[in-house]
Amino acid sequence: MDASTLIELVHQYGYPALFFCLWLGIVGMPIPDEVIVMTGGFVTTLGLLKPIPSFLVTYAGVASGLSIGYFLGRWLGAPILDRVIKRKNNKYLLKSQLLIEKYGSLSLFISYFFPVVRHIIPYLVGINKMTFRRYAVISYSTGFLWTLLLFMTGRLFGNYIEEIGTVLHRYGIYFVLVFLVICLIGFFLRKQLFTSAKYVKQDDNIY
């Protein structure tokens, strides 16, 4: 399945097509999550869907799809993970385990930027009995930013979705670095604007 097929599904079935394609990613949907999320943004520029509902449905599909892995891992344990690995690849399990060993809870954040790994990490933290509250705070907040970034990428560069998706698959770690740089720039700009506004307000009070 490619982006054009997904666009046709959206044209026929609307918002549910986006949601279920992302939701089924946990069982091996034959199209990368990144491409689906970017397509969710692109179709809003074609007039097929409205931007805000499309984003919310896309985000819901991402969050709920990964949450299934968490709950399956927590309730069913290792046996369910064995079935998932058979469908994917053992090297991704090893990479996921290394991330958890090295970064702990932060691995949930990092995993969003690595294909397949993002689906395995929730199983592992569920098996390790991470509390749902902790899982939700990290996974859902990161998922929101990740979805927003890709959704807007789809709106701006919709004609190159598959090419961008390929790059993200190959160089996921660099996407993490770009994402962090954007967050830091946004933080400092916001801080600068807040400081400037504070000084302006103080000057107004003087006069």
136 and 46, same structural domain? yes
pLDDT tens column, 24-80: 765 556 678 888 899 999 999 999 999 999 999 999 998 988 888 899 888 887 776
81 and 52, same structural domain? yes
CA distance 100 to 108: 8
pLDDT tens column, 129-167: 899 999 999 999 999 988 998 898 889 887 888 777 777
Cβ–Cβ under 8 Å, residues 56 and 111 = no
199 and 124, same structural domain? no
144 and 54, same structural domain? yes
Can you say whether the dihedral through the CA atoms of 83, 85, 88, 89 is positive or negative? negative
Domain total of the chain = 2
Domain that includes residue 200, residue range: 179-207
157 and 114, same structural domain? yes
143 and 205, same structural domain? no
Residue type present at position 196: S
